[in-house]
Structure 1
Amino acid sequence: MSDRRLRIALLASSRFAVRQPFAGGLEAHVSQVAHALAALGHHVTLFAAPGSATDLPYDVLPVHTFEMTPQSRDDYLTPAWTVHETHAYVSVMLELAGPLRDSFDIVHNHSLHYIPLALARTVPMPMLTTLHTPPLPWMESAVALPGGVASAFAAVSAYTAAQWLPVNGVVPVIANGIDLTAWRPGAGGDYAVWSGRIVPEKGVTEAIVAARRAGFPVRFAGPIGDASYFEDEVKPLIGPDVRYEGHLRQDELAELVGSAAVALVTPRWEEPYGLVVAEALACGTPVAALARGGIPEILDWSSGSLARPDDPDELTRAIRHAASLSRADARLRAETHCSQNVMMQKYLDRYYQLIGARVRSTRPQDRPAA
């Protein structure tokens, strides 16, 4: 790995701010990457939604906004947020292709929007796109543009890489990692913990029901992403043995997770990675999870227990088994398989490879001898 200090543009969500408490795992991940790169001496500029933290060791590239006319706002077929999001990404890509063309060595795209992919060929610096999701329709359409897409790719898990195989071909895997100094081992306790965005696809209700059957009280935390779901399905389950802790900052969440006997991860969809699994293991808390998506790549027999989706009895048994596992083994699993340092080394190696390839491809060819 080179010791050259790089100028790196990170593209995040133009809709959700990168600041604590985080809106979701993607925002937490991008913040962590920005901090890690800055700590290694690189110059980081973050493109993210208004309200993103600015009192940190990186610059923030403001999101370009505009005022919609009343006629545009009244178009019920097009949600206003989609217009603003597309405008923001078109604007930043035009800036990278124009006024900022000499400001960066590489662009690292973490957005879930198609515009950075569609316009990647317009910018002079290489782009690396991390695939945090399955192939979303608009992203897939950008990859399929004539001439291909001018971005390299990395997937957060082998599962996600396999999903993108028919679209992109073989995609290297750079598994997510977490800051093991921020997620420290806790003493454990007598309750089960669940954390994440409170939306139907994350399955908090399944976690609560299974934990009750297994004999564990539940404490859960996260932003309420679907108010109707919370009111209609989650709130009725709250009682003396089930407590909602709110939307917590990272340090508060680490304390809650580290003080639990077992962490529950119960998605209704195929999780591309499962950041909450890594966070729980780093806190020394064994995990009972549904075997979906990339989650089985993180857990092993010493650190957690997997259950088949849609099998409540098996999930109940998995909770009881995981709670009996060694907290030291859970932490060891995080140290060997979920390290931020390993992730950042792989990303930096990829940056230098892409920059070197771009330099070689644009270098004037030697003139033939007369």
Structure 2
Amino acid sequence: MRILLVAGPFISLREPYNGGTEAFVVAHANQLVRLGHTVDVIAKDADEKNLFQVIEFPESPLSMKDDAYRPCPEWLGQQHYQSLQFGMLDVSKYDIIHYNSFIPEIYAVGALLNIPSVLTLHLPPTEKFELVYKFFLKHAPALPIGISERMSKGWASSLGKEVEVILNGIVLQQWKLYHRNNDGYLLWSGRITKEKNVEAAIHLANHLKRPLKIIGPIFDQQYFSIHVEPKLSERIQYISHVNQQQLNDLAGGASAYLATALWEEPFGLSTLEMLACGLPVVGFYTAIPPELRDEQVAIAVDSDDWKDLIKPLEKVGAATPQNCRDFANSFDMQKTSEAYVKVYQWLSKTLRHE
């Protein structure tokens, strides 16, 4: 099949990724090529090692800043300009368009295209995206897909229609299995924002007098400066953002991974990645969706209190690295991509004849 994946014209697919959506797009696009399909991806750029082709929409050589009718800074004006170029792309050669974007203008343009489409719902429902996606699905020959059961149920209620589930996956071969160091540090990764709640991991580590390594980009500098930076010490270390290989290496020296987000993680790729490395996971229900929970290797508690993670952390110490890896094996990216291909084929046959 000829497949167009849409991330966004100013979205970088280079490592280290900004989030799980970018990681999914790269892994899925590469897997589709391995399965024999031709894949283009709309993005700002991507690492050269990838198998797919990137379609870039350039910025304008003219200023896009607006101080009058619709005030916006230069960078935002350029993003608007780049996004609207999607409407000038000849998409007639594609069998399917797969949207993985958070850019409203992309969906305004996409609603005009009569190409069978898949919309993967990577975020929980919000008022903004409910309107964007409802508009798009009203006008485009598109099928929404949830990445977990709780995402599917949330969006089914918002959209007023059933939403099929295709669980995310990872490329297992990219994650080395380690012989876990039970005396190693605790590990936490994610965007440094209030809703990701790294503070819970810091409190837990200090209470247990255990080392903690914190990994991830600072999305909220004020939050980091007030709630994280003052708590850093020889024991509590912030290592900044890292690529997947570096994260894999750091997992090799850890004893457990902490998933403490307060918002409902749509899927939780980081949990799965750490399990693939042989690292057990403990965290809150909000951070670990039901599909990734397991009473031996990935224990989640119905709480947002870090103290409730103490006993689960003791329990997962008995899990072997192979136990963790075996659980992760159920979420191989090939299975995910094959499930999407079945949807692509059905849509291409069904919607092109309507």
Q: TM-score over 0.5 for the alignment?
A: yes
In the alignment, structure 1 residue 178 sits paired with structure 2 residue 170: yes
Moved more, 279-288 or 108-117: 108-117
CA separation of 1:76 and 1:59: change in aligned 2, threshold 3 A: same
Residue 7 of structure 1: aligned partner: 2
Residue 355 of structure 1: aligned partner: 348
Q: How does 1:329-340 map to 2 (within 5 A)?
A: 329-336=323-330, 338-340=331-333
Aligned pair partner of 2:152 in 161, 169, 175: 161
CA deviations on 1:212-256 (whole Å, 9 max, x unpaired) are: 223421112112222222222211121121122221111111111
CA deviations on 1:8-52 (whole Å, 9 max, x unpaired) are: 111114443100111222111111112111222221111113x43
In the alignment, structure 1 residue 304 sits paired with structure 2 residue 298: yes
Amino acid at match of 1:159: R
Note if contact 1:159-1:293 (Cα within 8 Å) is conserved in structure 2: no
CA deviations on 1:136-194 (whole Å, 9 max, x unpaired) are: 33332134339814221110111111111123211000111000000121122211111
Identity %: 28
Equivalent pairs, count: 350
Where does the alignment leave 5 or more consecutive residues of structure 1 unmatched? Answer: 1-5, 362-370
Deviation at 1:126, TM superposition (A): 0.9
Residue 105 of structure 2: aligned partner: 115
Name the TM-score, length of structure 2 as normaliser: 0.91
Q: SS in structure 1 opposite 2:283?
A: strand
Note if contact 1:260-1:285 (Cα within 8 Å) is conserved in structure 2: yes
Deviation at 1:102, TM superposition (A): 2.5
Return the alpha-carbon distance in structure 2 between the equivalents of residues 75 and 268 of structure 1.
39
Deviation at 1:131, TM superposition (A): 0.2
CA separation of 1:36 and 1:15: change in aligned 2, threshold 3 A: same
Deviation at 1:269, TM superposition (A): 0.8
Aligned pair partner of 2:24 in 29, 44, 63: 29
Return the alpha-carbon distance in structure 2 between the equivalents of residues 71 and 353 of structure 1.
44
Return the alpha-carbon distance in structure 2 between the equivalents of residues 274 and 143 of structure 1.
22
Amino acid at match of 1:205: E
In the alignment, structure 1 residue 18 sits paired with structure 2 residue 17: no
Residue 145 of structure 1: aligned partner: 135
In the alignment, structure 1 residue 48 sits paired with structure 2 residue 43: yes
Q: SS in structure 2 opposite 1:181?
A: helix
CA separation of 1:71 and 1:334: change in aligned 2, threshold 3 A: closer
User: Alignment RMSD, CA only?
Assistant: 2.3
CA separation of 1:279 and 1:19: change in aligned 2, threshold 3 A: same
Return the alpha-carbon distance in structure 1 between the equivalents of residues 64 and 348 of structure 2.
45
Return the alpha-carbon distance in structure 1 between the equivalents of residues 85 and 351 of structure 2.
24
In the alignment, structure 1 residue 234 sits paired with structure 2 residue 225: no
Note if contact 1:196-1:221 (Cα within 8 Å) is conserved in structure 2: yes
Amino acid at match of 1:115: E
Q: How does 1:213-224 map to 2 (within 5 A)?
A: 213-224=207-218
Where does the alignment leave 5 or more consecutive residues of structure 2 unmatched? Answer: none
Amino acid at match of 2:177: P
CA deviations on 1:266-293 (whole Å, 9 max, x unpaired) are: 1021111111111011111110111116
Return the alpha-carbon distance in structure 2 between the equivalents of residues 15 and 244 of structure 1.
28
Note if contact 1:214-1:317 (Cα within 8 Å) is conserved in structure 2: no
Note if contact 1:217-1:241 (Cα within 8 Å) is conserved in structure 2: yes
In the alignment, structure 1 residue 199 sits paired with structure 2 residue 199: no
Return the alpha-carbon distance in structure 1 between the equivalents of residues 214 and 137 of structure 2.
47
CA separation of 1:293 and 1:250: change in aligned 2, threshold 3 A: closer
Deviation at 1:77, TM superposition (A): 6.2
Note if contact 1:8-1:43 (Cα within 8 Å) is conserved in structure 2: yes
